[in-house]
Amino acid sequence: MTSYRQELEKYRDIDEDKILQELSPEELAQLDMELAEMDPENVLLPAGLRQRDQTQKSPTGPLDRDALLQHLERQALEAEERQDLVPFTGEKKGKPFVPKDTQQDVPHEEQVTLEPELEEALANATDAEMCDIAAILGMYTLMSNKQYYDAICSGNISNTEGINSVVQPDRYRPVPDESPNPRDVQ
């Protein structure tokens, strides 16, 4: 009785190329089909080799780009254009869109009446003053982040831009280059 390892030793020196050359084209096709059926979803194989070739057509030759483009142009010119099922007449159907009136009546309980001096002061206030009033009332969403942080850091509100201001970037302050590290790590 021979061991399993000794049985495998006789297959070690087999020349696979010689065996494949001796096979007929029908036997090669059968071998190819059996190999494809053994592991069709082998992730290690490239995508083009995962599915067996089922065509029996012989290769047409090398790619000729100019001939291909001429053929495609000729085919496009010979093809009939698709006729629209419903011809365009320019007729508009339906009603035109009219936005709803968004003004809502404020209930009498929620209407605020101010003293005439305050009404006049608010009517004549500039954007910067309105932004200052918004900051005093705690409406920080009407201020830009820069205005808000300037007001918090300095303690006073110094708004010169107004409510609808564009945030300007901070001025660039050049920083001198650091000297090289003199320490020798060796």
Give tens-digit pLDDT for 85-122.
777 788 888 888 888 877 777 676 667 777 888 888 88
Give tens-digit pLDDT for 149-172.
766 676 665 555 555 555 566 677
CA distance 53 to 55: 6
Q: Which residue has the tokens 């995962």?
A: 50
CB 157 within 8 A of CB 136: yes
Residue 32's identity, in one-letter code, is D
CB 125 within 8 A of CB 158: no
Give tens-digit pLDDT for 54-95.
677 787 888 899 999 999 999 999 988 877 777 778 888 888
Mean predicted lDDT score pLDDT of the chain: 77
Q: Tell me the CB-side half-sphere exposure of residue 29, using CA atoms within 13 A.
A: 7
